[in-house]
Chain A
Amino acid sequence: MALLEVNNLEVSFGLRSGGVKALRDINFKLDRGERIGVVGESGAGKSVLGFSILNLISNPGSITGGEILFEGKNLSKLSASELRSVRGNRISMIFQDPMMTLNPVLTIGEQMVECLLAHRKIRKEDARNIALQKLKQVYIPSPETRLDQYPHELSGGMRQRIVIAIGLLMDPDIIIADEPTTALDVTIQAEIMELMLELCERNNVALILITHDLGVVSQVTQRTIVMYAGRIIEQGPTKEIINDAQHPYTQGLMNALPQMAVPGARLNQIRGAMPALQRIPTGCAFSPRCDYTTETCRHTLPGFTESGNCLVACHMVAEMKREAAQVASLAQEVKG
């Protein structure tokens, strides 16, 4: 049994202008110790996905369908107190901006100890010792002093280390990291990513890494989920997705990487922009921006096609493959 299994998850936001679906037909599995990357443009629903796992979507959003099975328990059906015993304990989260995640009026120590006391019946001094130990694990210099300091006394990278230490406090099974390096200095980004990878490997923690950075995904994760307009459009082993993306959107994302462009030339981009959630086209949501669009794409929502070890939501996968094979054989002929 997978550690986490998400089936047909649907998340909606009830707005005055009617409800919009921020997530549709989300299906994926996460095994113990597995690291999975979630990529996509801004607004694709990556963060909503991360928050919905712990049922942390704030009003007016809510989970309107499907199930999130964690060790067989459906998280979306748990009572508030049962959910609390999972949050921060079995599954913890790391947020995007360490400048905003820590409460400015509480000391680091208070913010760590309270989490331990919420989940375990231990004395304050013991909790403090565990906190200290976790701070050492994330390589914070002079951790004893840090416990009594306030967040504003520390740098961004340091604060993100503390957020990670808080995430590790209860030795969770899963960490959901929502763009943990986006708000950091480039030089710090690599350090933090390396630290997270090391900690996940050492403690056998599963990781859901939500990010824009395909480079990070390729270094850290084993599997990748590509999202577009609230749906997963492609998922599979990271290596295959990076090297041989099947969905035209994923291909577009890969081509948009700066290293893919000819030096000195304009960078590649996917034309157009992602549709607003209220105005998602019928059929394939990507069809207005896609080079391979056919009539079918405009009218029917593509189901998932297996392609290698990947699942791809595209009508044209077979077509594109055939085309690629033709090109390859043509190239062969030209050579021969």
Chain B
Amino acid sequence: MIAFLIKRTLQAMVVMFVISLISFSIQDNLGDPLRELVGVSVSEVEREKLRDDLGLNDPFLVQYGRFAANALHGDLGTSYFFKEPALDVILKKLPATLELVFGATLIIVVLSVPLGVYSAIKPGSLLSRLVMGLSIVGISIPVFLTAIGLIYLFSIELGWMPSYGRGETSAMLGWDSGLFTADGLHHLILPSFTLASIMLPLFIRLIRAEMMEVLQSEYVKFAWAKGISPWRIYFVHALKNTMLPVITVGGVQIGTMVAYTILTETVFQWPGMGFLFLEAVNRVDTPLIVAYLIVVGAIFVVTNTLVDLIYGLVNPTVKLAGGK
């Protein structure tokens, strides 16, 4: 276990190094930060001086070296726009995004398991075919369209849901969260469903396909031959085996979902990291962009490590070891 963690930490360091290199190297291609920073009235001489002060004229490797050295001390640069450390700006927005991802994950887990299992057990039933049909629709519609559609239906036509923003938040254990106020939860519903709409059909189909395969296996047949109850066969014998690959895919997808929040947050004006990132791109706030990419990369690495840990706990044939 400890050997596993050490090994994964070393791997994570390599991954983070590569991510930082890539995200830092794209900053030169994003446009001129000076244009946003100083406006049109500043002369070219002053601009050049500012570029020198910011270190933008140094060779790439020198710039990267400076960045990496600072990054190791937890400093990912200072946002041009907010004039604050980029990491702080992002971490302030992180709770909102995590809430959104949490809401969407909850919806996915609660809906995909029963629907997937049901449509695997009764593939011919009306409900199964309806679920399968809708899931194709769900996969095919882009997120922003889902979001606009939901806002139109539930906020404008029916007036049930707020159309934008995070609502009221309250501080809980040092976490400024909307999860603990009715208004905050109310605001969370539509964005969560929007974010879940891409992954939910995928998971239903994945669980269904895996479950159908498992139900054909010899050990499930043997379980029937033992005369144990269908409930136990479906939810203990079959589901446990079904979930093994689903956990693996799920871990990667949760990471992906953090990235997908950009679209959802933008449509719903959700004050999270994704929305911030899009603003940063518009403002050519390169330090903020680089910091965002690194934070998202770190989230990916952490979730994947967690998933591997969980997988090792669920699957008895896997022993978490530091190597052979």
**A92-B225 CB under 8 A given contacts A105-B241, A106-B236, A106-B240:** yes
A56 and B222 alpha carbons, distance in the complex (Å): 10
Residue ID in chain A nearest B314 by CB atoms? A105
Q: B317 contacts A86, CB within 8 Å?
A: no
As a 0/1 sequence over residues 131 to 170 of chain A, the CB contacts with chain B under 8 angstroms (1 = contact) are 0000000000000000000101000000000010010000
Which of B220, B224, B232, B240 lies in contact with A114, CB distance below 8 A? Answer: B232
Say whether B157 faces chain A, with CB atoms less than 8 Å apart: no
Interface string of A75-92 (1 = CB under 8 A from B): 000001000111111001
Chain B residues, CB < 8 A from A101: 218-219, 222
Q: Which residues of the other chain, A, contact B244 by a CB distance below 8 angstroms? A: 105
* CB-based contact A84/B241 at 8 Å: no
Interface status of B228 (Cβ within 8 A of chain A): yes
Contact of A118 with B317 in the complex, beta carbons under 8 Å: no
**Count of interface residues, chain B, beta-carbon cutoff 8 Å:** 25
Q: Is the interface of B mostly helix, strand, loop or mixed?
A: helix
Tell me which of A54, A105, A119, A166 contacts B316 (CB under 8 A). A105
A80 to B228, CA, bound (A): 11
Judge whether B237 is part of the interface by a CB distance below 8 angstroms.
Answer: yes
Query: Is B222 a contact of A102 with CB atoms below 8 Å?
Result: yes
Interface size class of A (residues with CB under 8 A): 20 to 34
Contact assessment for A106 and B237 in the assembled complex, using a CB-CB cutoff below 8 Å: yes
For A86, A105, A115, A163, the residue with the greatest tally of chain B CB atoms inside 10 Å of its CB is A105
Q: Which residues of A contact B185 (CB under 8 A)?
A: none
A103 interface residue, CB < 8 Å from B?
Answer: yes
- Kindly state the separation between the CA atoms of A152 and B315 in the bound complex, as whole angstroms: 11
Verify if B227 is at the interface (C-beta below 8 Å from A).
Answer: yes
Q: Which of B217, B221, B225, B229 has the most CB of A within 10 A?
A: B225
B222 touches A95 (CB 8 A): yes
**Residues 300-324 (chain B) with a chain A CB within 8 angstroms:** 314-317
Residue of A nearest to B238 (CB): A103
| A54–B225 touching, CB < 8 Å | yes
Is residue A19 contacting chain B, with contact meaning CB distance below 8 A? Answer: no
Interface assignment of A187: CB less than 8 Å from any CB of chain B: no
The reply to whether B316 and A104 form a contact with Cβ atoms under 8 Å apart is yes
Q: Does A58 contact B (CB under 8 A)?
A: yes
Of A88, A95, A152, A163, the contact of B221 (CB 8 Å cutoff)? A95
Q: Which residues of B contact A261 (CB under 8 A)?
A: none
Chain B residues near A89 (CB-CB < 8 A):
227
Please determine whether B219 and A114 come into contact, CB atoms closer than 8 angstroms.
no
Report yes or no: A103 in contact with B223, Cβ–Cβ below 8 A: yes
A88 CA to B244 CA in the complex, in Å?
Answer: 28
Whether A95 contacts B218 by the Cβ 8 Å rule is: yes
Q: Is A93 an interface residue (CB 8 A)?
A: yes
Closest beta carbon of chain B to A104's beta carbon, Å: 6
Whether the pair B219, A102 counts as a contact (CB closer than 8 A) is yes
Task: Give CA–CA (A106, B237) in the complex, Å.
Answer: 8
A100 touches B (CB below 8 Å): yes
Q: Which residue of B lies closest to A117 (CB)?
A: B228
Q: Which residues of A contact B232 (CB under 8 A)?
A: 114, 118
Residues of chain A having any CB pair with chain B under 8 Å: 54, 56, 58, 80, 84-89, 92-93, 95-97, 100-107, 114-115, 118-119, 150, 152, 163, 166
